[in-house]
Structure 1
Amino acid sequence: MQTFDTGAVAWADRSDYWRDAISQTFIPLECAFADGDHQGRITSGVWQDLRISEIACSAQNVSRRRRGADNHPDNLILLSVVSQGTTSVAQAGQQVSLTAGEFGLYDTRQPYQLHLEGESRQHVVQIPVEHLWQRLGKTDRLLACVFGSQHPLVPYLQMLLANLMALPDSLPQQYAAMLYDQLLSLVSSIISDQYRTTRNQNGSWHGLLFQIKIMINSHLAEQSLSASTVAANFNISPRYLARLFQKEGTSFGRYLLSQRLEKSAQALRSPLNSHTQVSEIAWRNGFSDMSWFSREFRSRFGCSPTDYRQGHQLTLAE
Structure 2
Amino acid sequence: MAKGTDDYIFFMCLEGAATFSHLGREASIEAGQAILLSSSDPHVIERAMSHHLFITIPKAALGPMAANADAALMTPMSCVGEKFLLLTSYVRLLMQEPNLAASELRWLAAKHIQDLVAVVVGATQDATEVAAGRGIRAARLRAIKADIESNLASGDVGSDALAGRHRVSARYIRKLFEGEGTSLSQFVLGRRLALVCSKLSDLRLAHRTIGAIAFDAGFGDLSTFNHAFRRHFGMTPSEARQSAAVHRASLEPGGRTGHARQSATGVAAA
TM-score (norm 2): 0.47
Structure (1/2) with the larger helix percentage: 2
Normalized per residue, the structure richer in strand is: 1
Question: Based on CA coordinates, which of the two structures has the bigger radius of gyration?
Answer: 2
TM-score, normalised on structure 1?
Answer: 0.40
